[in-house]
A and B are shown apart, each in its own frame.
Chain A
Amino acid sequence: QQPVQSPQAVILREGEDAVINCSSSKALYSVHWYRQKHGEAPVFLMILLKGGEQKGHEKISASFNEKKQQSSLYLTASQLSYSGTYFCGTEKGSARQLTFGSGTQLTVLP
């Protein structure tokens, strides 16, 4: 079942903060976050694993609430380069496949 992302779209000014949420109705092993710019491949941002381990970029932070099966991606002091569509992908167990949300389109204006 596809995770639900919110908001669907957000427009920011440079320097502002944003939070993107991802929730699932199923028990999760991990949550992945990717960013895709128009016409480009999705790029890895962060993995949050059950048990609290995180792997990802230093300038991006995220949380994973295992009890609620929710994850949030925090973008602080946004830059123009942050513009793109953000996808969360969830893994349910040992199966190595991601189920992606429908994406959040983030636009950062000067």
Chain B
Amino acid sequence: KAGVTQTPRYLIKTRGQQVTLSCSPISGHRSVSWYQQTPGQGLQFLFEYFSETQRNKGNFPGRFSGRQFSNSRSEMNVSTLELGDSALYLCASSHGTGGPGGELFFGEGSRLTVL
């Protein structure tokens, strides 16, 4: 069974640009969550999508957005990049049904550097 695939793995952008990151969940998983990981703030929840609907949202500015497609693949977008957006962005998939407590399967992440 293929794992969670994130692309691109590494990217470098400059301030003010925008970026789109992609995540393909494990086949059959309908929930995709996004997390930002930085040395200072640790792992922080961005948002979660289930069946193309945003189900939960973390405490991030509106520059961070996402969407999910009918095949459960998800993208997240960050507009008007700031230096502080440099981070590892992790995608995690799960079945998403049956209430909380489901195991998350993480991808290897997309490492974004903003110059």
Contact = CB atoms under 8 A, between A and B. Distances in A.
Contacts of A102: 42
A97 B31 CA distance: 11
Contacts of A91: 100-101
Interface in A36-61: 40-44, 47, 49, 55
B44 to A, nearest CB: 8
Contacts, number: 66
B103 A47 contact: yes
B43 A87 contact: yes
A41 B43 contact: no
B103 A94 contact: no
A74 interface: no
A46 to B, nearest CB: 9
Interface residues of B, number: 26
A110 interface: no
A99 B48 CA distance: 13
B103 A44 contact: yes
A2 to B, nearest CB: 7
B80 interface: no
A102 B58 CA distance: 17
A44 B100 contact: no
B102 interface: yes
B42 A43 contact: no
21 contacts: A2-B42, A30-B101, A32-B104, A41-B4, A42-B90, A42-B106, A43-B106, A47-B103, A89-B43, A91-B100, A93-B100, A96-B33, A96-B50, A96-B102, A97-B56, A98-B33, A98-B43, A99-B45, A100-B42, A101-B42, A102-B42
Interface of A: 2, 29-30, 32, 34, 40-44, 47, 49, 55, 87, 89, 91, 93-103
